[in-house]
Chain A
Amino acid sequence: MGVMPHDHIELSLEQSLDHCIKCNICTAACPVSAVTDLFPGPKYVGPQAQRFRHERQPAPDESVDYCSGCRVCNEVCPTGVKIAELNARARARLVAERGIPLRNRLISRSEVLGRLGAGPQAPLANLALGFGPLRLALERVLGIARAAPLPKFSRYTFRSWFRRRSAPMANSGPRRQVVYFHGCATNYYEPWVGRAAVAVLEHNGCEVIIAPQRCCGLPLLSNGDFAAARRAHEANVAYLAPYALRGVPIIGTSTSCTLTLKEEAPELLGMRSAMVRTVAEQTFDIFEYLRMMYECGELRADFRPIERTLPYHPPCQLRAHRIGRPALDILELVPGLRLVESHADCCGIAGTYGLKREKYQIGMDVGAPLFETIRRSGSDLAVCDSETCRWQITHGAGVAARHPIEILAKAYGLVI
């Protein structure tokens, strides 16, 4: 695996187990162990089990694989144990020892899947994936839950749209350059999210650069394929560092991608070259960035009123950024618009977790309180920053789900 703890930062991850005072707050807060006995809880699989793991001996545990990686435990831990990271590394150990199941290898490669499905052939691919008997076969053969929410491929990719569009009118004066990290979901499934992001950024005087990029690697990390995740992150750092080193911010609409660039990949993989650090420091969630612009008085406020009250779910991966609720901070500037935060822990999908046959129902049970909250709001539209959460919300609560940037673009009256 090559993850060798050699310095104090690295050690602080695995040695953070020493901060555990066994208080059980994480176990009480864990949305997964609340709904299934298959997961003994974050304390058990995290700092507790870590005392029994030995780098040169076979892995002693496997229940850690039921950790969804939602990071609620990290959020509530009063002493700073890096529980989710301990779990991710333990799972990677298991994968290194026992091999990665074909199913996990497949669903963690969002780029490959995207390339296969997105494009003119999308209707056909979508038809196939919506075809019951095929889904049944996929469940039987591969273990991909037949009811799990798979997104629909887009007929065009975001990158192809960006290439072909007519360049925006060059305004006078120097423009602020930003790199937009679209991620796989925007590129292959929801290009309109990227279009909204580009529109909002350009509306606010930014020159948007679409640098070459690869999958951020999060699905690989959460499926324990650290070697592939390392290759992905190394490639992204090589693509993005030239911009980051010049001080050009890297802005993403997927909270999971940005979290991975910011800290998941460097921490879990033990990568901490100056280039990796610079990329991490220059990466921002799009609303985090817009809020910074607002705080500097640089955000345009030419909003049209939107008279709506919408339920908003801050995804786990956004909360892990520890940046508050920037989407709420910005969208509350829109006259008439009211967003009501869900206060539910997790939607249950946790990236690829809820797609797996053995975990699908756990995911649905985890998400049940959120679905209920959204249903009770009476709204036919929910707002959420993360793509997989949106798909799960639509699947579980039966309402459409949008990225907040789409709402903001609408408030600006931008045509996308």
Chain B
Amino acid sequence: MRTLTTDVLVIGGGATGAGVLRDLALRGIRCALVEKGDLTHGTTGRYHGLLHSGGRYVVKDPQSAEECARENEILRRIMPHCIEDTGGLFVVTPADDESYADRFVAACRRTGVWVEEIAVSAALRREPLLNPRISRAFAVRDGAADSFLATHANTDDARRYGAQVLTYHVVNGLERVGDRIIGAVCEDLRSGEMVRIHCAAIINATGAWAGKIAALAGLQVSVVAGKGTMVAMNHRIVNTVINRCKMPDDGDIIVPIHTVAVLGTTDIYVPDPDVYSITPEEIRLILDEGEHLIPGVRRMRALRAWAGVRPLYREEDATHDRDIPRTYRLLDHEVRDGVAGMVSIVGGKWTTYRLMAEETVDVVAHRLGVTTPCRTAELRIEASAQPAAPLRPAISHGSAARARFAILASPFYMLGHRLAEVEADDSYGDLVCECELVTREQLEAAIESEGTANLDDLRRDTRLGMGPCQGGFCTYRAAAIWHERRSARYGQAAGAAPATRLLTHFLQERWKGLTPTLWGDQLRQARLDELIYLETLAVDRLPEAIPDETIVTGHAAIATEAG
């Protein structure tokens, strides 16, 4: 067993954990983060990508609304490259209670959420597919956030300040001596090696899994896992975040993020955050509700569906998940349970991750006697060394070529960003994933990067396989490139089995999200993909892959989305 020593151990590699890690590192506190899967493997990597203006919560949950409004501005400042300034609209459809709108505006004023009513005609000009029968429209400062990129940006920045990040490390036990937690025992899922981590404090930032981690120390934390299902449409049917102007409910929002528009969401209690599936009823509900916003959306091409689990902290009995406040709670187990050495940060949402981290680290730093103030709201996060960073000399003219594309000068991310890069670098001949414009160079950099275990991790790093064909044309290419790179690194052919495992694992991951949306164009696509893999490549008849410890795939600890 290996032993590591650090001051603070952060458990959970989602938005909150990464934010906590950066905050700790910036205050000069020695820290490490463990995550049982890849970074953003949990809820952070499975949400719709909304940067809240706060508008959604102004009436129901004003505290959340205020927090969102403040953090929204901070995040725009510190990580513009992770954010697309889409703007948002709240619209009153014929199905909505018209009296809500005035309450909405009044509540926005009270909570400091920026809002401006615009003419319906202006809203329709901006979003031509929007229901022409809407009666009012309000502009807000919603945005879209790349949660994969933002999480990496946080951990990469933390690393610059000395933090350690251990992915595929699952916490099997917490070491408790009397009323004090002194460390954790982790398993490296890739090597099977056990790692003991000694620390002065643990921050449990595992979201929907916080109850499971707390239980390892004999503590009880009631986190309600609220499953939210989303449907991604094949292209940006809207370029603005569209919300129904009503009390938050199922299927009342559309978020344009990267090349897709995400319809969301449902909210269904699941007993175990690791076991859930998507039902046809949920998909139907989301599309039916979507019709109120975009008439005809049912007939448009849906790309895939997926679900994430909200970490809702239940303090008292709430009758319905949506009644649980969306604000976060910091549980200081020393105060709450008389057990020192651990705090749990639960609830909240992506938009408030930084604030949650700040408050958490304030408490922990105080305990450690560190008085350095939080600086995460001021220091801009450097863009991570892009996997796209020019490597080939051919790209030396890149900066001149890039100057031709105004889009590339924008501090905020823009939809056309990647296409402009490919065009400026003349790299369209090197595309591995054509739908999402992932070049061979980006893919190779991601393969070589720390902690990458399978093609699904590459997807989170690069968006590989996230476009219309859902891996139809890139899975075999990516598996081959991986195989080639890893063989080169170890100086010998790695054998066919690992490549086969990579291939089938990724196909299976993509397939899971396709099954709920198999009709129309996407069914046609799936049929073509099926012909490619089952008829041409016969992947179902490849020699059975032998287990390979360098590829973590269906490990019980990280398997989610049953069925």
Chain A interface residues toward B at CB < 8 A = 4-6, 8, 11, 15, 17-24, 37, 40, 43-44, 48-63, 79
Contact = CB atoms under 8 A, between A and B. Distances in A.
Output the residue of B405, B428, B528 with the most chain A CB within 10 A. Answer: B428
Contacts of A79: 521, 524
A170 B406 CA distance: 65
Output the residue of A18, A40, A57, A63 with the most chain B CB within 10 A. Answer: A18
B525 A51 contact: no
A66 B434 CA distance: 19
B473 interface: yes
Nearest to A7: B128
B330 interface: no
Contacts of B236: 51, 54
B497 interface: no
Interface string B104-147: 00000000000000000000011011000000000000000000
Contacts of B417: 60
Contacts of B405: 58, 60
A54 B428 contact: no
A52 B434 contact: no
Given A60-B405, A60-B420, A21 B528 contact: yes
Given A4-B128, A58-B416, A21 B423 contact: no
B70 interface: no
A324 B407 CA distance: 44
Given A20-B468, A60-B417, A54 B239 contact: yes
B239 A55 contact: yes
B407 A57 contact: yes
B435 A48 contact: yes
Nearest to B429: A37
A8 B299 CA distance: 12
Contacts of B428: 40, 44, 63
Contacts of A57: 407, 414-416
A63 B300 contact: no
B528 A18 contact: no
28 contacts: A4-B125, A5-B128, A15-B300, A17-B234, A18-B234, A18-B300, A18-B301, A18-B468, A21-B521, A21-B524, A21-B525, A22-B468, A22-B472, A22-B528, A24-B473, A48-B434, A48-B435, A49-B419, A51-B234, A51-B236, A52-B416, A56-B239, A57-B414, A57-B415, A58-B406, A59-B407, A60-B414, A62-B423
A79 B406 CA distance: 34
Contact of B434 (A44, A50, A60): A44
Nearest to B239: A54
A173 to B, nearest CB: 53
Contact of B416 (A19, A24, A61, A63): A61
A38 to B, nearest CB: 9
Interface of B: 125-126, 128-129, 234-236, 239, 259, 296, 300-301, 404-407, 414-420, 423, 428-429, 434-435, 437, 467-469, 472-473, 521, 524-525, 528
B434 A22 contact: yes
Nearest to A55: B239
A57 to B, nearest CB: 5
A221 to B, nearest CB: 22
Given A60-B407, A60-B423, A11 B414 contact: no
A18 B235 contact: yes
A40 B426 CA distance: 10
Given A18-B235, A21-B528, A61 B420 contact: yes
B464 to A, nearest CB: 14
Contacts of B407: 57-60
A52 B239 contact: no
A5 B236 CA distance: 14
A59 B434 contact: no
A6 B469 CA distance: 28
Contacts of B468: 18, 20-22, 51
A320 B423 CA distance: 29
B466 to A, nearest CB: 11
Contacts of B420: 60-61
A26 to B, nearest CB: 13
A24 B528 CA distance: 12
Nearest to A23: B528
Nearest to A4: B128
Nearest to B125: A4
Q: When A and B form their complex, which 10 residue pairs have the shortest distance between CB atoms, in order from nearest? A: A60-B416, A58-B406, A18-B301, A52-B419, A60-B419, A60-B420, A40-B428, A22-B469, A51-B259, A54-B415
Given A60-B407, A60-B416, A60-B417, 6 more contacts: A18-B301, A22-B468, A22-B469, A23-B528, A58-B406, A60-B423
A6 B423 contact: no
Contact of B235 (A51, A58, A63): A51
A8 B524 CA distance: 22
B521 to A, nearest CB: 5
A61 B521 contact: no
A101 to B, nearest CB: 14
